[in-house]
Amino acid sequence: MRTEATGYPIERIRADFPALQQRIGAYPLVYLDNAATSLKPQSVVDTVCRHYREESANIHRGVHHLSQKATEAFEGARDKAQAFLNAARREEIIFTSGTTGGLNLVAHAFGAGLKAGDEIILSTMEHHSNLVPWQMLRDRTGCVLRFIPITDDGQLDLAAYDAMLGPRTRLVSVVYVSNSLGTVNPVARIIRAAHAHGARVLVDAAQAVPCRPVDVQALDCDFLVFSGHKVFGPTGVGVLYGKYDLLDAMPPFLGGGDMILSVTLERTVFNALPNKFEAGTPHIAGVIGLGAALDYVRGIGLDRVAAHEEGLRAYATALLAAIPGVRLYGTAPEKSAIISFVLEGVHPHDIGQILDSRGVAVRAGHHCTQPVMQRFGIPATARASFSMYNTRAEAEQLAEAVRAVKEMFA
Amino acid sequence: MTVSDELYQQVILDHNRSPRNMRALANATHQAQGINPLCGDEYTVYLAVDAGGIIREVTYEGHGCAISKASASMMSQALAGKTIAEAHGLFDAFHALVLGKAEAATPPCELGKLKVFSGVWRYPARVKCAALSWHAMKSALDGQGKTSTEDAL
């Protein structure tokens, strides 16, 4: 067994995650489904519980003590998200229901300004959540969708992308880290090229924020979305970052309470950012819990997490590649610790099931990226996705379990 | 009990490795497609039913996991020579078996070799895999062209 890089506090991190202390039958849990959702540190669980126990109240409107405490905690989480992304202004942080919620918000509110013939560039690598809202927008407006192809090793074909950019391009919406291939896309370069043509860029950072520092000002992205639950926070909450002037110019998405300054029966004056895009009572506990999660990862340091996961990726990839019959999908030079693979003669669901019987949790399926599966001519893959609390010993348990599958189906 | 005792019994692994009757059927009188949109498994099931209402041949083509493939393979063997009424009866019995309700629904002896699927109910995510081709078979007999595990079950 190889040990972790010196100085990385793996034992302390693992101790912070109560779910990791479980056994699945006779086996210790080996949780390698982090691209689906991450486990939660005790501090997040405690923060959510404390909110419900001690300060459960609605925000932004109560004069009473509990409401003020809840509002402070909620707005405190906005400051934390601002710092986490290095956004220039706190009003650029919109709390959403998750990545999907953020993408739909932009598709509606930014999309309201598009007309027939305007072009949106997506990629073949997108999660369904970054495809379907744009298809729906296309059907409403007559705008045109174009798709950056994927190369054989799982990279975006940037030459094809450059050739797609033109005077009609209004928006480029691309994934930072592919959830099914693990590819880390060169989003800064993609953004520069789009800006040179006057197009805006949305970055789906759902898989990026848990494993690498993301700085929206350095990237110069126009929009960026992520989910709380993939970055060790609660489900049902996420963040949309948008440049202030862009968000300010966009019409609201959902109408309702909290997004208004005044309402008569005939008309409404909308609230300023960020409230304009936060209609209704939000997932208050979730947002506060997300704040605790962002504190947690910042405490570890995403540079250190990235280095740890790069070690895991290289190690686990080598172990799997050494098993005859294993084929890896997504072999780009820049990758996160998401490893998609198939085993000759064995359906990925059977791999997932048998791995589970050995305590190893992976995902099997199309990973909400059916066009990626179609691109590679396969129905599904098994996917092992590592996080900051995973170890090289767990990578070894994965490989050993895959060998057992192979033996069983031989 | 391990997963190989309960779910991946040798009979199932054998049918997965060498599926029987896995082909299209040129003289099919009934056919229907079964899809599981959650996992992408899909099979088209073909039946040749003669004038007397006897199922002469059952075949299928498509792709899916070991459970769904072995289930289709064993179904194709179990139904040959049965009447349409018997096929419906076997559907009900098999469906009850994979939902873990076999005792309540039918004398288990009717199922014969199909009892290797008796452990499936312990794995709720896999019940649809085992039932997929059976739902397609039922749709075919009922004259419906397509079925989805999201509608059935």
Task: Calculate the average pLDDT of chain A.
Answer: 96
Q: Which residues pair with B136 in a beta bridge?
A: none
Kind and range of the H or E element at B137?
helix B124-141
The CATH code that applies to domain A10-40+301-409 is 3.90.1150.10
CB pair distance less than 8 Å for A356 and B2? no
The domains of chain A are located at 10-40+301-409, 45-299
A11-40: b (≥16 Cβ within 10 Å) or e: eebeebbeebeeeeeeeebbbbbbbbbbbb
Q: A250-287 pLDDT, tens per residue?
A: 999 999 998 999 999 999 999 999 999 999 999 999 99
Sheet holding A326-329, edge to edge: A326-329, A338-343, A381-385, A363-365
pLDDT at B108 > cutoff 60:
no
Q: What is the pLDDT of residue B151?
A: 58
Predicted local distance difference test score (pLDDT) of residue A1: 44
Mean pLDDT of chain B: 90
Query: Which pLDDT score is estimated for B55?
Result: 97
Residue A260's pLDDT is 92
pLDDT tier, A3 (very low <50, low <70, confident <90, very high otherwise)? low
pLDDT above 90: residue A310:
yes
CB A130 within 8 A of CB A103: yes
Does pLDDT of B106 surpass 60? no
Residue A62: the pLDDT is 79
Angle between helices A99-109 and A132-141 (to 10 degrees): 20
What's the rounded mean pLDDT across residues A83-102?
98
Residue A166 sits at φ, ψ, to 5 deg, of: -165, -175
Question: Distance (Å) from the C-alpha of residue A255 to the closest C-alpha of chain B?
Answer: 33
| Contact predicate A219/A191, CB 8 Å | yes
pLDDT tens readout for residues A96-141: 999 999 999 999 999 999 999 999 999 999 999 999 999 999 999 9
* Nearest by Cα to B40 from B131, B149, B117: B149
Chain-chain contact of A409 with B17 (C-beta, under 8 angstroms): yes
Q: At B3, is the pLDDT very low, low, confident or very high (cuts 50, 70, 90)?
A: confident
**Is the predicted pLDDT of residue A328 greater than 50, yes or no?**
yes
Structural domain spans, chain B: 3-147
CB contact under 8 A, A356 and B3: yes
CA distances from A203 to A299, A369, B90 (A): 25, 17, 52
pLDDT value at residue A104: 98
**3 state SS of B42:** strand
Task: Name which of B3, B38, B68, B123 to mutate to probe chain A: the one with the most chain A Cβ atoms within 10 A of its Cβ.
Answer: B3
With a cut of 80, say whether residue B148 has pLDDT above it.
no
What is the residue type of B6? E
Please state the three-class secondary structure of A337-389 as a single string.
CEEEEEECCECHHHHHHHHHCCCEECEEECCCCHHHHHHHCCCCEEEEECCCC
Name the β-bridge partners of A327: A342
- Which residues of chain B have a Cβ shorter than 8 Å from any chain A Cβ? 2-4, 7-8, 13, 16-17, 38-41, 63-67, 69, 123, 126, 129
Nearest C-alpha neighbor of A385 from the set A354, A362, A368? A362
pLDDT tens, residue by residue, A212-258: 999 999 999 999 999 999 999 999 999 999 999 999 999 999 999 98
- Asked if the C-beta of A374 comes within 8 angstroms of chain B's C-beta atoms, the answer is no
CATH architecture of A45-299: 3-Layer(aba) Sandwich (3.40)
The CATH classification of domain B3-147, taken from the options 3.90.1010.10, 3.30.413.10, 3.90.1150.10, 3.40.1360.10: 3.90.1010.10
Q: Which two tokens stand for residue B139?
A: 């749709």
